[in-house]
Structure formats: C-alpha cells, structure tokens
Structure 1
Amino acid sequence: MLNILLFGPPGSGKGTQSKRLIQHYGLKHLSTGDILRKEIAEQTPLGRIAQHYIDKGELVPDEVVISIIEEMFAEKNLKGFVFDGFPRTVAQAKALDSMLSGIKRTICIMIVLQVSEKELIKRLLNRAKIEGRKDDELHIIENRIKVYQNQTAPVLEYYKSQGKAYIVNGMQPEEVVFKDICYNVDNFSQCK
C-alpha cells in the first residue's frame, strides 16, 4: 500500500498535485480540508466545531481530525492514500503512524512543497477571488501561514528523522513540480 504525505503551507499546491497523484498512482485522496468544508456546508455538529476554528485561521483540534481519519481507514481494497493537509501537528503524525501500524501499514514518503511566503499570499488572494473561500482573506491567510510555521512545520522534522521527507520546489511550473514529486515517490519511497 502506497501512502504519500503531501505537505506544505496553505497555497503551496497540495490540492492541485494531490489530484494528479491520485490519478497517476490510483490512490484515494484524503483531504481533511475538503472533509471539514463538506461538514461545514452540511452544518453538522462537527462542521460547527470546525467552523469556529477555521474562521480564525486556527487548526481544528487533533481529536476531531483524527476521528475523521480513522473512519477513512475502514475502506477495503485500497492501493493507498494521498494525505493532503494531514497530519498538521506532531501529535496527529504520531496518531497516524499508530493507526497505520495497527493495520500493518506505514507512511511511505513525505513530499514537502516549498513556496515563498510572498508567493503563498499571492496565490491565496488569487484563489479567494476565484473560489470565494472565507479562509483566504489577507488577515486569515497571514495567520494560517503563522500557524503552519509554528504548529505544522515541526511535522517535517518528525518524518525527516525517519528518513521519509523529500523537498520539492513548489515555485516551478505545475508539470515540473509533478514530475519532481513522481521522481521522489518512484525512487525514494520506503514502500516498494
């Protein structure tokens, strides 16, 4: 089972590259952001909890996100997952490793999309114009980037210490980024 973590700050291209990886490798997309936005749109109890945090550009609590992920693992006959936007904290990373270990699986590789802060802000403001996402307003964007740097970036060190993290320049054209990601997955994945 091929399990890929696609990692990077908001606006780094995780969603775009996830779609391509899913098609290329036949994997299931696991985007906590998409799941939470769906819950919010349907005004479920989980959605109302998530909305409170997302509106401020903060992370949804670990226990809420982890319960969502556990439900996804119930599906059978999967080739693997592309994790997009999860884990966002070291506690979530440890919980993910524990869940995967319980079903005799592991994270095979972490791909980190590196993009400058200036470019992230530009991309997210542009996305706000196109998609109208409330979490893409400037003050919320700046907070999301700060939260990423303080709370999410340490996840990179966690997987780097396991020899699973590979950095890709996310400032390149979309096709070049995808080729670089596939090169790393095909040559350095710990699941062969």
Structure 2
Amino acid sequence: MRDGTALGKEAKAFIARGDLVPDSVMVGLIASELKKLGDAPWLLDGFPRTQPQAEALQAETPVNVVVNLDVPFDTIIDRIKDRWIHPGSGRVYNLIFNPPKVAGKVSLTRVIKQFTGTLSLTSRDSPSPIYNIANTAPVLDYYRSKGILQDFHGTESKKIWPHVENFLKTIV
C-alpha cells in the first residue's frame, strides 16, 4: 500500500471498507515481497492461516520448511490471559512466567530513557482469537503431506527454542 502498487491499492480498498483482504490479494502481496528477497532465507509468522492460502503461496513462492511450535492449548491461553504490557516502553510481562517486581507496575531504567508507569492488558491479548487455531490444522496437514513440516513440542520457549535453533542451523 505504501509503495502504491496495484495489489497494495486493491488491499487498501478492502481495508478502507472494513473488509478482510481476500486470499488472492494477500498471497500476491506476500509473494511479491518474498520474490524481492531472491535466495535470502525468510520467515513468515502467522501466514498462511488457511489451506487455500498455503496452496496459493506454494504455487507462487514455494515454502521449503515449516516449523510448528506445538504447545498445549491450555498453556497458550494461560500465557495470553496473564500477559500485560507497559505502553510507554513496550515491555511485556506475564504474571506467571515473567512477573513485574511490583504488581501492576513497571520500572525499567536504561542508559537513555527511564520508563515508569502502570501495566495494561491490551485487546490483542484477549484469549478469544486463539480459539481459531483449529482452522490451522489443515495447513499443518498440507505441509506435513509435502514433507516439509517439522514439529516441536513443549510448554516453555526456553526449552523449545534450543531444538528449533539447532534445526534451523542445519538448513540455513
């Protein structure tokens, strides 16, 4: 949209009406940006979300590896519902996994800036969107059938990440 491309203008028209951007436009936008990268590795997070998007992306710009972080549903909900953010600094806390030192407050001092203030729960952190995760099962099955899906199971980033990192080092 920023560059004024035909696809960007088309997406902007849907957004201006408050409509979802159709798969064909989204895939076109993403594929055109990925093609600009040439042979450089790239990572998508949160796209594709449906099997038709995955199939269209594969036809436009083939995906060669898909990483699936298989985390129990209850763990995801707990992480989201207990996540708080300090709007001034963007610092993220989790009341269970990474609580602030003083409940409801943040005090973060850096060389250049000092942030103090109250934490808030953001609308994007509502657990309700996560219930759509069942819609991604066909996407995972699609990539699994292509032989390019790698699953990683766990409940904590610090335990899953070393396995993901080691795997990525073997392919990049």
TM category, shorter = 0.5 to 0.7
Q: Give 1:88's match in structure 2, choosing from 33, 49, 63.
A: 49
Unpaired segments ≥5 residues, structure 2:
1-7, 88-120
Runs of 4+ aligned residues of structure 1 deviating over 3 Å after TM superposition are 44-49
Q: Is the 8 A contact 1:112 1:167 kept in 2?
A: yes
| Superposed displacement of residue 61, structure 1 | 3.9
Note the 1:2-151 alignment, pairs <5 A: 45-48=13-16, 61-77=22-38, 79-100=40-61, 106-127=62-83, 129-130=84-85, 132-137=121-126, 141-142=127-128, 144-149=129-134, 151=135
Alpha carbons of structure 1 residues 123 and 64: separation in structure 2 relative to 1, 3 Å? farther
- Hey, what does 2:165 align to over in structure 1? 182
Deviations 1:118-171 (A, max 9, x none): 1111211233x316542322xxx23x233220x212111111111111111241
Whose radius of gyration is greater, 1 or 2? 2
Deviations 1:38-81 (A, max 9, x none): x9xxxx545446x666xxxxxx6423421331331242455121
Q: Which has the higher relative contact order, 1 or 2, with Cα contacts under 8 A spaced 6 or more apart? A: 1
For residues 37 and 150 of structure 2, the distance between their equivalents in structure 1, rounded to whole angstroms, comes to 29
How many residues get paired? 128
Q: TM-score, normalised by structure 2?
A: 0.61
For residues 76 and 160 of structure 1, the distance between their equivalents in structure 2, rounded to whole angstroms, comes to 25
Percent identical:
26
Q: Is the 8 A contact 2:65 2:150 kept in 1?
A: yes
Cα RMSD after superposing both structures: 2.8
Higher helix fraction (1 or 2): 1
Q: Is the 8 A contact 2:34 2:42 kept in 1?
A: no
Q: TM-score, normalised by structure 1?
A: 0.55
Unpaired segments ≥5 residues, structure 1:
1-38, 54-59, 101-105
For residues 46 and 70 of structure 1, the distance between their equivalents in structure 2, rounded to whole angstroms, comes to 19
Q: Is the 8 A contact 1:66 1:95 kept in 2?
A: yes
Alpha carbons of structure 1 residues 159 and 76: separation in structure 2 relative to 1, 3 Å? closer
